[in-house]
Amino acid sequence: MAAASQPVLALSGGVGGAKLALGLADVLAPGQLHVLTNTGDDFRHLGLDICPDIDTLLYTLSGRANQTLGWGLEGETWQTMTALEELGGETWFRLGDRDLATHLWRTRQLKSGMRLSAFTAALAVRLGIASHIHPMTDDPVRTMVHTDRGDLPFQHYFVRDRCEPPVTGFSFDGISAAHPNREVMRLLQRKAFGRVVVCPSNPFVSVDPILQLPGLWLALRESPAPVVVVSPIVAGLAIKGPAAKMMAEMGMGVSALDVARHYCQRYPGLMDCFVIDQSDATLAAEIGELGVTVAVTSTVMKSRADKRALARFTLQLSGS
Ligand code: FO1
């Protein structure tokens, strides 16, 4: 178990990752959780800077998340979208009236020269969040989804086209020139983290953009903190989102084993421990042959108690 005083670093995309981040925030001492968040889904829309995964974390960790939608704010209203529709404006990406304030304020502050990391930290404080939410980079990185209908910016693939176009691969525009989050790199260099938890987020569009930032995964591998990865695939299905569909379309098997293979092949030596759901227990031996410790538990997080239980589980595992 990480020493009680040592901070924990979680890598997360949006909805699925935020659930475990909430569990970790609950069971760690205030301020001990650092979440490094995907920004490959970010885009400019209607002139606004939209950062969906950062906002999902901000809203989830502050208790404001819309539980029904999985994104946006609880108790949201949609007057602006209705008015925009009347004007013949673009409404495929739905921005709630209250959520719009976040995008308006962020756009204004970034335009006046504030870094995304500084803005996010300030917003987290305003929302009463003790954990640290770090954008993976302050530089623009944009996930492109390669499909048989051409290359699509992530939100066009995900929201506008409802993940329908069959996927052939991914790329991350701007990644080779991007610098990983400075504060997280500084903490890694100081060997400050007691543990790294890769949340059950989509490996291809949520975790890969983070790990492929220049120098980041090697810094994680060199850090003494055990790296624990939670499988987003349970019994051959993604708990949320298109991960399983993407794997099938790219000709991969669709199982926790295939997720483990992806991480081991793309980032050799990074992962110490792989957490799978009890329904996948029969895969444990084969995953173990990849050279990682396999841990089996219930990974489906329906209640707050489930989130806390999985968080505690990931914190007490010893590395390989
Ligand atoms: N997801 C949708 O499926 N439809 C939407 O209209 C939509 C709007 C939206 C607005 C703000 C925001 O922060 C997130 C929003 N999302 C929407 C979710 C988001 O696009 C995805 O869940 C993530 O990018 C995937 O992690």
In a domain, 1, yes or no: no
SS3 sequence of the chain: CCCCCCCEEEEECCHHHHHHHHHHHHHCCCCCEEEEECCCCCEEECCEEECHHHHHHHHHHCCCECCCCCCCECCCCCHHHHHHHHCCCCCCCCCCHHHHHHHHHHHHHHHCCCCHHHHHHHHHHHCCCCCEEEECECCCCEEEEEEECEEEEHHHHHHHCCCCCCEEEEEEECHHHCCECHHHHHHHHCCCCCEEEECCCCHHHHHHHHHCCCCHHHHHHHCCCCEEEECCEECCEECCCCHHHHHHHCCCCCCHHHHHHHHHHHCCCCCCEEEEEHHHHHHHHHHHCCCCEEEEECCCCCCHHHHHHHHHHHHHCCCC
Handedness of CA 240, 180, 215, 151 (dihedral sign): positive
Atom of ligand 1 nearest to the CA of 53: 26
Residue 207 CA to ligand 1 center (angstroms) comes to 17
* Number of domains, the chain: 1
Evaluate whether residue 135 is within a structural domain.
yes
pLDDT of residue 4: 55
Q: Residue 59: inside a domain, yes or no?
A: yes
Per-residue b/e over 72-107, b at no fewer than 16 CB within 10 Å?
bbeebebebbeebeeeeeebebebbeebbebbebbb
What are φ and ψ of residue 63, in 5° steps? 75, 20
Residue span of the structural domain in which 149 resides: 8-316
Report how far residue 12's alpha carbon sits from residue 197's, in angstroms, rounded to the nearest whole number: 9
65/74 Cα distance (integer angstroms): 5
CA dist., res. 144 & res. 159, Å (int): 14
Ligand 1: residue of 35, 64, 159, 204 to mutate (most ligand atoms within 8 A of CB) is 159
**What is the pLDDT at residue 319?**
55
In the structure encoding, which two tokens stand for residue 38, read together? 């995907």
Q: What is the pLDDT of residue 104?
A: 98
Check which CATH number belongs to the domain holding 50 and give it: 3.40.50.10680
Atom of ligand 1 nearest to the CA of 96: 10
pLDDT at residue 320, rounded to an integer:
47
Q: How far apart are CA 271 and CA 292, in angstroms?
A: 7
Q: Is residue 2 part of a domain?
A: no
Compute, in degrees rounded to 10, the torsion defined by CA atoms 146, 147, 149, 152: -40
Residue nearest to atom 18 of ligand 1 (CA): 71
- Asked if residue 3 is part of any domain, the answer here is no
What's the average pLDDT block by block, 10 residues per block, for the chain (320 residues)? 76 95 98 98 98 98 94 97 98 98 98 98 98 98 96 97 97 98 98 98 98 98 97 90 95 97 98 97 97 97 97 84
Joined tokens for residue 116: 């995304």
Q: How many angstroms is it from 220 CA to the middle of ligand 1?
A: 29
Measured CA to CA, the distance from residue 6 to residue 3 in angstroms comes to 5
From 78, 93, 106, 141, mutation site for ligand 1 pocket: most ligand atoms within 8 A of C-beta: 93
13 lines ligand 1 (CB under 6 A): yes
pLDDT of residue 2: 47
Q: Is residue 292 part of a domain?
A: yes
30 belongs to a structural domain: yes
Residue ID of nearest Cα to ligand 1 atom 26: 14
- 41, 71, 155: residue to mutate for ligand 1 pocket, most atoms within 8 A of CB: 71
Cβ–ligand 1 distance for 14 under 6 Å, the answer yes
